[in-house]
Amino acid sequence: MKKIRKIGILTGGGDCPGLNAVIRAVVHTACRAGIAVVGIRDGYAGLIHKDVRPLALPEVSGILPLGGTILGTSNRDNPFQYAEPGAGGKVEHRDVSAQALKTIEYNEIDVLVTVGGDGTQIIANTFFEKHKLPVVGVPKTIDNDLNGTDVTFGFDTALNVATTAVDKLHSTAEAHHRVMVLEVMGRYAGWIALDAGLAGGGDVILVPEIPYRIEKVCDHIRDRAARGKRFSLVVVAEGAKPEGGQMVVARKVNDASDPIRLGGIAALVANQVEDLTGIESRYTILGHVQRGGSPTPYDRILASRFGYHAVEAAMAGKFGHLVGLRGNEIRTTPIQEAVAVPRRVKAGDDKVLVAKAVGTCFGS
């Protein structure tokens, strides 16, 4: 195997607490092994536009507790389907992967470490399979929906933010005898809603994987009121949908990797609950606050472990693989396997059963 002299690292997709911890761990581990590191700015856009910067120990000093990413990120620049203005202003997509490969060749990058979710890793795997590019993936998403790892870094920080919001809404809901509906992120996976609802004592949890009936939700709220519980907390994932219905789409953006932007389910649920029960209902959309800020200690440690093991995997020649947490150990999984099926909540999952056992309604 060719000796690794330089590693390139990029952060793709949505930003996430812990990205800087990964970058720091990669740089420290590589430098101590005599390997140079360069950072690619703004995800795959940096490869397309030749935007690369050296990363040595001074560049990563002090970044461990910082949110965001010092390299920037993008979820719009797929080198295999790059969007550019065409005739008449119409957006056209073309393959510019050869251009990205030239950037890698020019900068003498031997291995590319891709830190991102399913979209980022699908692109990485395409480079690996189509162009034999040595890649090592690091799983990142607050949604926690990527296989190949028991948990992704960033999820714990988002969960802490969401749980704090549930706790804060509890007091105002109880004071005003209202139903408070909290909408959290997660796209098509309900992990944030499930865990925040369980941790915060949510009375109703609505997730994309378990379609709900609003009548069931209202029956549960009425039953609580009859037992003297004059308020209720509803935690709803942005991708939740009623039985036989559709997810609520805020808007569509055609040139994004995922053109559908979810949002608005909390307003729908709150209005329906108030109309059907007569109990005043308010809603809060937590939004991007879940993605920001300093990562929790758990996420800092997990991200650092991922960064270290990504370099170890590269030196071991485990290209086309994703590092991930399995139990208490960091192991590798083929990227193709990790992105084949999203990691979703199942109706029989232990956390769902626990939530039901303590009186939580899923509207089913």
Q: Which two tokens stand for residue 131?
A: 């162009």
Strand segments (E) across 111-215: 111-116, 135-139, 179-184, 204-206
Q: What is the pLDDT of residue 207?
A: 98
DSSP characters for 39-62?
Answer: EETTTHHHHHTT-EEEE-GGGGTT
Rounded CA separation 349/364 (Å)? 15
Give ranges for CATH 3.40.50.460 in the chain. Answer: 158-291+346-357
Stretch 252-268: mean pLDDT, rounded? 82
Q: Which two tokens stand for residue 263?
A: 């949002």
Stretch 300-310: mean pLDDT, rounded? 98
Distance of CA 177 to the CA centre of its chain: 34
Q: What is the pLDDT of residue 257?
A: 63
At 260, the pLDDT band (50, 70, 90 cuts) reads confident
pTM as predicted? 0.94
Give ranges for CATH 3.40.50.450 in the chain. Answer: 6-153+295-327
Q: What is the pLDDT of residue 256?
A: 62
Span 342-353, pLDDT tens digits: 999 999 999 999
What CATH architecture does domain 158-291+346-357 belong to?
A: 3-Layer(aba) Sandwich (3.40)
Span 17-71, pLDDT tens digits: 999 999 999 999 999 999 999 999 999 999 999 999 999 999 999 999 999 999 9
What is residue 207's three-state secondary structure? coil
Q: What is the pLDDT of residue 254?
A: 67
Q: What is the pLDDT of residue 1?
A: 67
Q: Which two tokens stand for residue 244?
A: 């036989």
Q: Which fold has domain 6-153+295-327?
A: Rossmann fold (3.40.50)
Q: What is the pLDDT of residue 90?
A: 81
Least confident window among 80-94, 188-202, 294-308: 80-94
Is pLDDT of 355 > 70?
Answer: yes
At 277, the pLDDT band (50, 70, 90 cuts) reads very high
Span 239-252, pLDDT tens digits: 999 999 999 998 88
Span 1-12, pLDDT tens digits: 679 999 999 999
The percentage of residues in the chain with a pLDDT greater than 90, rounded to a whole number, is: 92
Catalytic residue among 42, 118, 143, 156: 143
In whole angstroms, how far apart are CA 224 and each of 68, 178, 196, 284?
Answer: 41, 12, 20, 21
Q: Which two tokens stand for residue 269?
A: 């649920």
Instruction: Give catalytic status of residue 15 as yes or no.
Output: no
Least confident window among 84-88, 217-221, 321-325: 84-88
What is residue 300's three-state secondary structure? helix
Is pLDDT of 94 > 80?
Answer: yes
